[in-house]
Chains A and B, each alone.
Chain A
Amino acid sequence: MAALFRILVILVVAVLIGGLMYAGVGASDSSAGLGGFEDEEGRPQRPEGGDFRPEHDEGREGGGFGFPGSVIKALVLMSIAGGVYSAMAWAGKKSARKTSMP
């Protein structure tokens, strides 16, 4: 029962955040006149043929486990972010040690 309540809390928070974002995107689109595909009556539509992705996204639906370039990019970016944090934490500890020395 407690787990169900916790799941509910997580989902409610996610829905609140998602709702705010949805409202934000809707508001920015209506003010900038961006984005949607609309029919003659102004109802939103998907583009004909479903080809909504940018050009470089061709072949996404094909799959087949090609060269995982973005996986490597992701690992490199995460390593850099983690490395920067670790370096900052290490420098912070070092300076704290120096100031605590007599």
Chain B
Amino acid sequence: MSNTNRTKLFLDIALFAAFLITMDPHFSGLAIHEWLSLAAAATVIAHLLLSWSWIVEMTKRIFGKGLNGARINYILNWLLFIDGVLIMLSGIMISEAALPAMGITLPMNFAWRRLHDMSANLSLIIMGLHIAMHWNWIVTTFKRVFFGGGKQQSGAMAKQEA
């Protein structure tokens, strides 16, 4: 079990929890909804940095032969990123807690409010697909981290290397 995978798993669990909490401003309150979303955006950057080599590799090979599953995954990840940018941008434009607390007041527009709701609803579908595509990795890494599969595997790998 590599440290990167362990870090990725913990980061993703935190990100997923933040995603669920921010999906319900009634539940958390507007201030938590906005500040947690801004923190989650920073966490998304960390999530992307941890997958950077895959992103670069896929960007180079996107038009290559084969790789159908990976190509769908890559396109889906782009859609999720674009949708995430739209959620953040529209959220910033209608912010009532975080930005005013920083002394920033932006002009209001109903279009941003509608876009925020639409993009948030769309993100649920894309996030569901994203998780489904990575389900095997999630289950395997979860088992290794929390149920000691990593030790067994690293032991087996050490034997193989020996």
Residues of A within 8 A of B (CB): 3, 6-7, 10-11, 13-14, 17-18, 21-22, 25, 28-29, 34-37, 43-47, 50, 52-54, 57, 59-71, 73-75, 77-83, 85-86, 89
Residue of B nearest to A83 (CB): B132
Q: Is the interface of A mostly helix, strand, loop or mixed?
A: helix
Q: Is the CB of B28 within 8 A of A65?
A: yes
A42: shortest Cβ distance to chain B, in Å? Answer: 11
CB contacts (< 8 Å) of A62 on chain B: these are 29
Residue of A nearest to B105 (CB): A46
Q: Which of B98-120 contact A (CB under 8 A)?
A: 105, 107-113, 115
Number of A-B contacts (CB under 8 A): 140
Given A53-B96, A60-B33, A79-B128, 12 new contacts (CB under 8 A): A21-B85, A21-B89, A29-B111, A52-B94, A63-B30, A66-B26, A71-B20, A77-B124, A78-B125, A81-B124, A81-B127, A82-B131
Q: Is the CB of B33 within 8 A of A34?
A: no
Question: B129 contacts the other chain (Cβ, under 8 Å)?
Answer: yes
Contacts known (A17-B82, A61-B97); A47 close to B124, Cβ less than 8 A: no
Question: B133 contacts the other chain (Cβ, under 8 Å)?
Answer: yes
A65 to B26, CA, bound (A): 8
Q: Is the CB of A71 within 8 A of B25?
A: no
Residue of B nearest to A82 (CB): B132
Q: Using an 8 Å CB-CB cutoff, how does the interface string of B1-37 with A read, 1 for contact, 0 for none?
A: 0000000000000000001110111111111110000
B96: shortest Cβ distance to chain A, in Å? Answer: 6
Question: B52 contacts the other chain (Cβ, under 8 Å)?
Answer: yes
A82 to B131, CA, bound (A): 7
CB contacts (< 8 Å) of B110 on chain A: these are 34-35
CB contacts (< 8 Å) of A11 on chain B: these are 45
Which of A25, A57, A65 sits near B109, CB closer than 8 Å? A25
Q: Is the CB of B112 within 8 A of A82?
A: no
Residue of A nearest to B127 (CB): A78
Question: B54 contacts the other chain (Cβ, under 8 Å)?
Answer: no
Q: Is the CB of A67 within 8 A of B27?
A: yes
CB contacts (< 8 Å) of B82 on chain A: these are 17
8 A-B pairs with CB atoms under 8 Å apart are A13-B81, A36-B107, A44-B107, A52-B108, A71-B27, A78-B128, A80-B128, A85-B128
Q: Which of B73-92 contact A (CB under 8 A)?
A: 81-82, 85-86, 88-89
